[in-house]
Amino acid sequence: MTSGLMARRSFLGCVGAGALALTGCTTRSAERTSRAGEKWRPNIVFVLADDLGYADLGCFGSTFYETPNLDRLAASATRFTQAYAACPVCSPTRASIMTGKYPARLKLTDFLKGNRSPKDSPLLPAPYADELALDEVTVAEILRQAGYATGHVGKWHLGGKGFWPEDQGFDFNAGGCASGMPKSYFWPDWGNNPPIKGRFEGQYLADRLTEEAYRFIEMNKDRPFYLNFCHHSVHIPIEAKADKTAKYEAKLKAHPPKPGRQNNARYAAMVESVDDSIGRLVETLRSCGIEDRTAVFFFSDNGGLSVEEGKFTPATTNAPLRDGKGYLHEGGIREPLIVSWPGVLKPGGVCTTPVCSIDFLPTFCTMADVTPESAGAHDIDGLDISPLFRNVRASLPRDALYWHYPHFSNQGGRPGGAVRAGDWKLIENYEFGDLELYNLANDIGESRNLAKSEPARAEKMRAMLKAWRNRVGATMPPPNPEYMKSKT
């Protein structure tokens, strides 16, 4: 064991590592926290959908998918309309949420473990980590040290055995493992992928995971807790309940959508099942008498799947945003974010300030009245965005947001980086060096490349991106020797 890992583990004290178990030590810690007064230490429920697009909720513009529970939550909460995932694919964004760091700093820049390498490129994909390193201090470890019960339910996808949620600060793990997608959404067809058993034949995975979320909440309703609830939905395979699918097929027949609009009945049914889960989650908080002291966050790990990748795809369209999962255009990285914190956030609020998945860790720490540094965390890239909870127009001390994706995505994305500063966004193609420059305030669909008409701005932002890569130690894609041979 390295000295860094020993130091990381030392602050965990006697908190047990067994999944699904809470030790006597954590119970005593909860009693101390309760006596200290938990009104200013809210429960935190973080719900993460998988591959859900920016426009896939009614409250974010969908006129086809039905999301009444999320729409009600948004009406009582604040919507963040310029919230970003740190990567256009899943594992790096999940790592950024856990650590508050850019994927480039973590050396975890692609999903685990993808390795697509086209022959027609001058570059090979950059090497990257096989898991979220154990010497990284996670938000679960920080909050657990602060007296919170910590639970993970659903998709993890941040490493194999030895790197699962119970190894990264979670007392409770239901279903978190190395896998990035289920074999099926119906029991028993999902088997051991994810490793959680259904209760009856035909049970839908989203419902089964929601049961585990209930269980964790009910176990810990008398103490502050942090629940990381990560649905596999709406990732492929596109499988949904038959009755819901039939409802959307009837909608399509009665009102055929215009070209380019959302029209996938099975996917719509999957979205609705996620929405049903949110409704049951909120009702559980209410029935436990803790709704008023629980903050709920709803987010997605990357953009919606807008190309063919398996049966019944494309899954969705992210219009008015361009592209989707696997791309650095807005459709691949801009996500729906809803934050509910009764008594703090105003109902029906809308925040247009750009925020990112790297911001959740420092924000959760502020909410729990603890600092990342107190638990040994360092080099945090994210910002505490809680000032926006009280004033949606508050300013954040950040000049820009950055992305580094030195890979070839399954969806067709190519190696590149991006920077957003104010309303301006630059994308740099690593293969050939060409630039895309957009003013998002005037062109949310990124249809007008201004790199040639604004060359000084484009070069300045390219320099910003290069300087940032140097600061975080980003790994660049190496040359492809076979491509070079073909050109000589």
pLDDT per position as a tens digit, 240-282? 999 999 999 999 999 998 899 999 999 999 999 999 999 999 9
Residues 332/88, Cβ–Cβ less than 8 Å: yes
- The mean pLDDT of 90-101, rounded to a whole number, is 98
Give the domain ranges of the chain.
Answer: 7-397
**Joined tokens for residue 82:** 């310029």
- The mean pLDDT of 385-399, rounded to a whole number, is 95
HSE toward the beta carbon, residue 373, CA cutoff 13 A? 2
**In the predicted structure, residue 4 carries a pLDDT above the cut 60:** no
**Joined tokens for residue 414:** 């190519």
Neighbours of 254 (CB within 10 A): 7
Compute the distance between CA of residue 70 and CA of residue 274 in angstroms, rounded to an integer.
9
**Which H or E element spans position 296?**
strand 294-300
**Joined tokens for residue 462:** 């390219």
In the annotation, is 231 catalytic?
no
**In the predicted structure, residue 484 carries a pLDDT above the cut 90:** no
- The mean pLDDT of 198-222, rounded to a whole number, is 98
Mean pLDDT in the chain?
Answer: 92
CA dihedral (211, 213, 219, 222) positive or negative = negative
Out of 87, 152, 157, 177, which one is annotated catalytic? 157
When the candidates are 3.30.160.20, 3.40.50.10860, 3.40.720.10, 2.50.20.10, the CATH number that belongs to 7-397 is 3.40.720.10
Alpha helices in 303-395 (DSSP H): 330-333, 360-367, 387-390
Question: What's the pLDDT score for residue 366?
Answer: 97
Distance of CA 98 to the CA centre of its chain: 10
Report CA-CA distances (Å) from 379 to 105, 137, 451: 9, 11, 32
Residues contacting 103, CB < 8 A, separation 6+: 86, 87, 92, 93, 95, 96, 109, 404
Question: What's the pLDDT score for residue 116?
Answer: 86
Question: What's the pLDDT score for residue 487?
Answer: 75
Residue 23 or residue 58, greater confidence: 58
Neighbours of 98 (CB within 10 A): 26
Compute the distance between CA of residue 415 and CA of residue 406 in angstroms, rounded to an integer.
4
CA dihedral (183, 337, 379, 428) positive or negative = positive
**In the predicted structure, residue 6 carries a pLDDT above the cut 70:** no
**Joined tokens for residue 477:** 């894609």
Distance of CA 144 to the CA centre of its chain: 21
Q: Where are the beta strands (DSSP E) in 328-466?
A: 334-340, 349-351, 355-356, 401-405, 416-421, 424-429, 435-439
Looking only at the bridges linking them, the beta strands covering 78-84 and 334-340 are antiparallel
Question: What's the pLDDT score for residue 19?
Answer: 32
SS3 for 350? Answer: strand
Measured torsion, CA atoms of residues 206, 208, 209, 214, in degrees rounded to the nearest 10: 120
Residues contacting 255, CB < 8 A, separation 6+: none
SS3 for 84? Answer: strand
**Backbone phi and psi for residue 294, each to the nearest 5 degrees, phi listed first:** -130, 125
Distance of CA 453 to the CA centre of its chain: 35
Report CA-CA distances (Å) from 256 to 253, 260, 356: 6, 12, 36
Compute the distance between CA of residue 29 and CA of residue 393 in angstroms, rounded to an integer.
37
Amino acid identity of residue 114, one-letter, is G
Out of 90, 230, 351, 365, which one is annotated catalytic? 90
pLDDT in tens, 112-166: 998 888 889 999 999 999 999 999 999 999 999 999 999 999 999 999 999 999 9
Question: What's the pLDDT score for residue 269?
Answer: 98
pLDDT in tens, 427-446: 999 999 999 999 999 999 99
**Backbone phi and psi for residue 80, each to the nearest 5 degrees, phi listed first:** -105, 115
| Lowest model confidence (mean pLDDT) among 67-76, 250-259, 466-475 | 250-259
In the annotation, is 157 catalytic?
yes
Compute the distance between CA of residue 416 and CA of residue 327 in angstroms, rounded to an integer.
9
Residues 69/282, Cβ–Cβ less than 8 Å: yes
Read off the pLDDT band of 316 (50, 70, 90).
very high
**In the predicted structure, residue 5 carries a pLDDT above the cut 80:** no
Q: Tell me what percent of the chain is helix, strand and coil, each rounded to the nearest 5.
A: 30, 15, 55
- The mean pLDDT of 457-485, rounded to a whole number, is 95
